[in-house]
Amino acid sequence: MKSPYPTETGCCPKFNPEPWQEKEFLWRDRLFIKDRVRCLFFMPLNFGGVMVRNQERIEQAGAFTPEPPLVLSEHTSRWNIDVYVEVAQEIPGAQNVRLSGRFLTKVFEGPFRDTGQWCQRMAEWVQTQGARIKRQLMYYTTCPKCAKHYGRNYVVIFAEV
């Protein structure tokens, strides 16, 4: 499968954190396909396979977004992650979902083991904005291989408020 988003790694694009740092987004019916990743105590077991499956669905349907899509992860338990991949149109055979709401974002950088600290810092920051978190979605901006290549591991937390 050939990506319509050329990058220096052939995989993930280099991430610019500035447009995502402490921003507010209002979404109305933003289209994604939803899938599930199995986990063992929050560690994803089949994330790569789920992403390949969804990229194939997107390619078959011609549903690539003009820019690289948002891929959001919602940790629903120690055993599951719901993954939302942004698409340009509904895809037959996929679970098509639309996300609406007000989202505050903040960028974090470092190893994934710091995720708990990031979530706590996000909650504190959202509170300073006079809001309460309904749920959090994680935007892992690069795969581990590309994070190593670029020398940065950025994660954007989307707090639905």
Per-residue pLDDT of the chain (161 residues; tens, 9 = 90+): 566 888 899 889 999 999 999 999 999 999 999 999 999 988 899 998 999 999 999 999 999 999 999 999 999 999 999 999 999 999 999 999 999 999 999 999 999 899 999 999 999 999 999 999 999 999 999 989 999 999 999 999 999 99
CA 11/CA 2 separation, integer angstroms: 10
Q: Establish if 48 belongs to a structural domain.
A: yes
Q: Establish if 36 belongs to a structural domain.
A: yes
Residue 35: domain span: 18-160
Q: Establish if 156 belongs to a structural domain.
A: yes
Residues with Cβ within 8 Å of residue 43, at least 6 apart in sequence = none
What burial letters (b/e) apply to 41-73, b meaning 16+ CB within 10 Å?
eeebeebeebbeebeebbeebebbbeebbbbbb
Give one DSSP letter per residue of 94-114, joined into a string: SEEEEEEEEEEEEEEES-GGG
Q: Establish if 143 belongs to a structural domain.
A: yes
Q: Establish if 10 belongs to a structural domain.
A: no
Helix (H) or strand (E) holding 50: helix 47-61
- Amino acid, single-letter form, for residue 76: T
Which pLDDT score, from 0 to 100, does residue 21 have? Answer: 98
Which pLDDT score, from 0 to 100, does residue 2 have? Answer: 61
Domain count, the chain: 1
Q: Establish if 89 belongs to a structural domain.
A: yes
Q: Establish if 81 belongs to a structural domain.
A: yes
CATH of the domain at 137: 3.20.80.10
Other beta carbons within 10 Å of 106: 19
Helix (H) or strand (E) holding 10: none
Q: Which of 134, 136, 109 has the alpha carbon at shortest distance from 122?
A: 136
Which pLDDT score, from 0 to 100, does residue 43 have? Answer: 87
Q: Establish if 6 belongs to a structural domain.
A: no
